[in-house]
Amino acid sequence: MQDGNGLRGDLYFTFFSIFLYLFKMIDLHTHSIFSDGELIPFELIRRAEATGYTALAITDHVDVSNIDHIIPRITNAVNALPAVTSLKVLPGAEITHAPPELISDLVKEARKLGAKIVVVHGETIVEPVKKGTNRAGIEAGADILAHPGLITTEDLLLAKERNVLLEITSRKNHSLANGYVAQEAIRFGAPLCINTDSHGPSDFITAAFAREILLAAGIEKTRIDTVFDNSKALIETTLRRT
């Protein structure tokens, strides 16, 4: 099987893996003007490309009121770009402040509508996210649990079992729990990733700064590459699934 570039699928994944290992930054949690971001998708993508990003997911906030409006439009923008950008861009969604009882259906709907990366807005300590959201997001099979706050041991173990990535974030305020998330995830073997939760170009970071954030969260240097590897693996899984 060949991809759009004429490469056999297995060779494409091999080349893409090598490409990702040369990356500057992978960011799988960003927002455009379709929710509370500052930029339309094309400009968000271009500014990320200019910053030196290798891969980006646009994951605007969704609930039942707007999910069918936002995801198709992000997907349209992303689908127009492969031949004209060096960036690997994935359409996505962040299910935000949804009652835990509705999260599973929203994850399924997001994927049905074309979201390749599904994020659930976790129980950050700076917002009144309903208790049980972390568990519901993990059980629903989200790809990433964003800023999960003081996540419980039971949920950490379930994230490990389901291979749901727990986010270390550069986003102000949400990042207050980074140290706890990092410590407990390492303790129980749950997978981590690092994202910016960018709402505008000033939120983008370099891979070097991302490493500093991980170190500041208490992650040893020898473990940092694994955090980036988890994001790379998620992208490759998404490409295979696609």
* Per-residue pLDDT tens digits for 134-165: 999 999 999 999 999 999 999 999 999 999 99
Residue 94 CA to residue 180 CA, distance in Å, equals: 22
Q: Is the four-CA dihedral 194, 78, 142, 29 of positive or negative sign?
A: positive
Is this structure's pTM higher than 0.75?
yes
The structural domains of the chain, ordered by start, are 24-241 (3.20.20.140)
For 166-199, the pLDDT digits (tens) are 999 999 999 999 999 999 999 999 999 999 999 9
Residue 65 CA to residue 47 CA, distance in Å, equals: 29
